[in-house]
Structures are given as C-alpha cells and as structure tokens.
C-alpha cells in the first residue's frame, strides 16, 4: 500500500525522534522504520544522545533514513541564545510558544533544533519512541514547527517511578495519537489517565517474518537459551535459581545466557555460588544472526521477566516474538502484556514471576515432552503471523500519521 495514497496532496514525511539511535536492545524501532521504508515512506531520524553500544542489529545497515545527532547536554549558554535568536526569525509565533514551553534547557535546545529542521526539510509529522525525553522533545518541536506528533509508549516509560514526572497525561492529550504495545498497557493508561488517554491505541511491535523462517520443531539438543540485557526486570537471577533446582534433580541440560549489562558480575557470582558453572555459559552480547541461529537449534527460549521494585517491567520482549516466529517453544512469566503473546498451554508456558520452582518445572516439561514442543511451535508461529507481522502493523501506524497530517491540514484550511 502506498502510504500517501489516501491523501495525495499531502505527501507524508515523518521525523522519528529517538533518545539514542541505534540501540542494540531496540530491534523494534529498526523493524518499524524498515517496514515504512519498504512502502516508500520518507523518514528522517533525530537522535538526542550519543551512541553507547558496540553491538548493533544487522538491520541497521538497511535503513536508508538519514540520521541527525544532537548533544544531549548544552554547555555553552551563548550557543543556546544564538539558537533562540534563529528560532525567533524562522519559526512562526515563536515568542508565544517559547513562553509556554515546558521542558528543561537541554530539551528546549533539542526541540528548537528539530523544529528548525522540520521547517527546512518540509517534514509534516513527528513520531517518538518512549514517552520520556524523546516525546518531550517531539511534542515541543511539533508545537514550535506547527505540525502534529504521535508517540509509542512501551513499558518503563509507563510504569517506572522517575524522579521527575513523565507527564504522560499531557503528552497523550496533545498528541494526534498515543500508541502502546499491548492491551495490558492500553487498559492501564485508560484506567490511570481517563479522558487524557482517549486517543491511545494498541499496535503490537512487529517483526519482519522474512528474516525469521519457520522450522517445525524436531528432535533438538537439551539446550535452554535466554537472551536480553542483564538488568533486574529480565529476571535472569530467577532463571539461575531454577537451573540450580534442576541440577539437584540431575536433569541433563545446558543453558546459554546472551547479553550484557549492569548485572554481569552479579550473575556470574551467582552462577559460581550455585555451582552451576558446568551447565550455564554467559557469552555477552551477540549479533542478531548468531542469536537467530542459536534460537533455531535450542530446545526452548526462556524469558523469566519480573516487575522490579521501582516498577520497571518488560512490555513484550522481542526475543519471544523472534523465537515463536522461528518455531522454537518459549517460557515466560505473567508480567505486563506477556500473557497476550505467551498463552499458557497454547502458545507456550507462562508461569508466575519470581517462582524458581514453577520455572524449573516448566523447563523440565519442555525438555521431556517434544509433542508439546511441536504444538507450541505451530501455535506460536500462527499467532505471530496473525498479530505481529511488521508490515501489517506498520501500515496501521502510517494510517495514524496520515490521519494526523490530513486533519491538521484540513484544520489549517478551514
């Protein structure tokens, strides 16, 4: 579908506002941009902070959108003042809009920079991922430039208790639409924010199914794979406790933990303390093609997610989507929107969070029952094709962009 077909007089040109780009853990952003570009949507990317990682998804090289990078901190008052002076000259009604601006000086400078580029390039809509800094800047830049914006709220930006309020109510109210990635999130936003969440919609994160060809589950090595950042909400400490229980039962298996993060030393110490170093290998971050190959041959992928003490939690881990698309059975937990994807006994096993015994029992069940694995393999792929196809889901998002621009254009004309 041509994203411009419904409104040929208003060519769609979208600026993506992201805190950092690229980020190894944000595969969904790359998937989304690539899906848009396959349909001819013109996109520019605005990155608000420096790249911090050393490993990236292979899909990054396929993105055609140019990237404009900004400093995340402003250290020269004279540079900010010069930027403001330029905005007075270039942006309509800037004085009034500046007086009403609601952000810190760093976000203000980024908002002005983005707004100036929007006007210069002819961008007519902004979309941000995560309802924190990126949406703060997208909202203010859209106001300065006189265009519309939307944003996608994922998980931490919804549930984490930040020192400074995220102000999702204001951001949802002012946006053309607020997207979130699960029905669980949507229900929470509507319950917490009432009428301010009236324009919130659910669009699942999708994936390019051509990169994840299905293989029916056959006889596989007793290999358990876990992939993710080594942070509290991933629950990998619970996985290690569960593996220790299986070792006490003399259950033969090996487990590979892929990823890097703040808890690397702590988890390594836990492996040593539990005496499971002979069955668990930590390999650090790996390129996506290697992870996909490991998924294809693993007995299962386990994502033992938890809600951390500060409220942070996973929305719908991409690793589960990828594994189910490939036909590898999954085990996860009853956290946030995960049960929408991992329906217990139908598309996988979904156990209570922070319950090593339940997790151990689930892993042993899949290690021993290949008929059940084959059932989960087929059902999981069917669900992914039905609900998580990136091309279909990105088309829904483009319709929101189109409606926003068309409505704004119509309002300006009337």
Give the pLDDT mean for 252-267: 97
State residue 413's pLDDT score: 65
Give the pLDDT mean for 373-382: 98
Q: How confident is residue 316, by pLDDT bands cut at 50, 70 and 90?
A: confident
Both structure tokens of 253: 């298996």
Give the pLDDT mean for 333-362: 97
Contact between 43 and 16 under an 8 Å Cβ cutoff? The reply is yes
pLDDT(247) > 50: yes
State residue 13's pLDDT score: 98
State residue 57's pLDDT score: 66
Both structure tokens of 69: 């990078």
| Percent with pLDDT over 70 in the chain | 95
State residue 8's pLDDT score: 46
Q: How confident is residue 2, by pLDDT bands cut at 50, 70 and 90?
A: very low
Residue 271, exposed/middle/buried by CB under 10 A (0-12, 13-18, 19+)? Answer: buried
| Percent with pLDDT over 90 in the chain | 83
Give the pLDDT mean for 36-65: 88
CA-wise closest residue to 172 among 156, 192, 155: 192
| 391 C-beta neighbours (distance < 10 Å), count | 18
Q: How far apart are CA 137 and CA 103, in angstroms?
A: 8
Contact between 306 and 235 under an 8 Å Cβ cutoff? The reply is yes
When mean pLDDT is compared across 1-5, 180-184, 301-305, the lowest value belongs to: 1-5
Q: How confident is residue 409, by pLDDT bands cut at 50, 70 and 90?
A: confident
State residue 73's pLDDT score: 87
pLDDT(6) > 60: no
When the pLDDT of each residue in the chain is averaged and rounded to a whole number, the result is 93
Q: How far apart are CA 330 and CA 376, in angstroms?
A: 8
Per-residue pLDDT of 68-78, as tens digits, reads 999 888 888 89
> How does 303-315 read in b/e, with b if 16+ C-beta sit within 10 Å?
bbbbbbeeebbbb
Per-residue pLDDT of 104-122, as tens digits, reads 999 999 999 999 999 999 9
Both structure tokens of 40: 């001819």
Contact between 22 and 411 under an 8 Å Cβ cutoff? The reply is no
Give the pLDDT mean for 260-285: 97
Both structure tokens of 278: 């002979």
Q: How far apart are CA 242 and CA 350, in angstroms?
A: 15
Backbone angles phi, psi at 140, to 5 degrees: -70, -40
Q: How confident is residue 5, by pLDDT bands cut at 50, 70 and 90?
A: very low
Per-residue pLDDT of 324-347, as tens digits, reads 999 999 999 999 999 999 999 999
State residue 9's pLDDT score: 62
Q: How confident is residue 56, by pLDDT bands cut at 50, 70 and 90?
A: low
Q: How far apart are CA 230 and CA 65, in angstroms?
A: 30
pLDDT(383) > 50: yes
List CB contacts of 344: < 8 A, sequence separation 6 or more: 350, 351
Give the pLDDT mean for 228-256: 97
Vertex 264: Cα angle to 259 and 269 (nearest 5): 135
């Amino acid at each position: 579908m041509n994203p411009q077909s419904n409104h040929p007089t208003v060519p769609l040109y979208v600026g993506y506002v992201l805190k950092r780009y690229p980020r190894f853990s944000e595969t969904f952003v790359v998937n989304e941009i690539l899906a848009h570009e396959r349909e001819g949507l013109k996109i520019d990317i605005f990155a608000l902070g420096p790249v911090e990682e050393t490993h990236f998804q292979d899909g990054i090289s396929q993105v055609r959108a140019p990237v404009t990078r900004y400093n995340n901190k402003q250290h020269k008052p004279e540079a900010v003042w010069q930027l403001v002076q330029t905005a007075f000259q270039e942006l309509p009604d800037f004085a009034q809009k500046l007086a009403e601006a609601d952000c810190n000086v760093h976000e203000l400078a980024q908002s002005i920079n983005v707004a100036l580029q929007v006007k210069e390039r002819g961008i007519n809509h902004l979309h941000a991922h995560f309802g924190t800094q990126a949406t703060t800047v997208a909202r203010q830049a859209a106001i300065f430039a006189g265009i519309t914006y939307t944003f996608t709220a994922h998980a931490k930006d919804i549930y984490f208790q930040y020192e400074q309020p995220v102000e999702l109510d204001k951001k949802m109210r002012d946006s053309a639409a607020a997207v979130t990635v699960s029905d669980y999130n949507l229900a929470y936003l509507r319950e917490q924010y009432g009428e301010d969440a009236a324009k919130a919609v659910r669009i699942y994160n999708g994936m390019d199914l051509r990169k994840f060809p299905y293989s029916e589950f056959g006889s596989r090595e007793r290999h358990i794979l876990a992939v993710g950042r080594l942070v509290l909400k991933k629950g990998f400490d619970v996985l290690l406790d569960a593996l220790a229980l299986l070792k006490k039962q003399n259950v033969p298996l090996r487990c590979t933990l892929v990823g890097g993060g703040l808890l690397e030393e702590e988890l390594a110490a836990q492996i040593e303390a539990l005496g499971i170093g002979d069955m668990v290998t930590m390999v650090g971050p790996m390129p996506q093609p290697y992870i996909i190959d490991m998924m294809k041959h693993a007995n299962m992928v386990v994502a033992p997610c938890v809600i951390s003490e500060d409220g942070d939690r996973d929305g719908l881990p991409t690793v589960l989507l990828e594994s189910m698309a490939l036909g590898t059975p999954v085990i996860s937990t009853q956290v946030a929107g995960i049960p929408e994807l991992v329906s217990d006994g139908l598309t996988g096993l979904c156990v209570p969070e922070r319950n090593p015994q339940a997790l151990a029992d689930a892993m042993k069940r899949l290690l021993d029952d290949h008929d059940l694995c084959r059932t989960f393999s087929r059902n999981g792929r069917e669900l992914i094709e039905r609900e998580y196809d990136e091309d279909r889901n990105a088309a829904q998002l483009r319709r929101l962009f189109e409606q926003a621009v068309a409505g704004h254009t119509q309002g300006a004309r009337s």
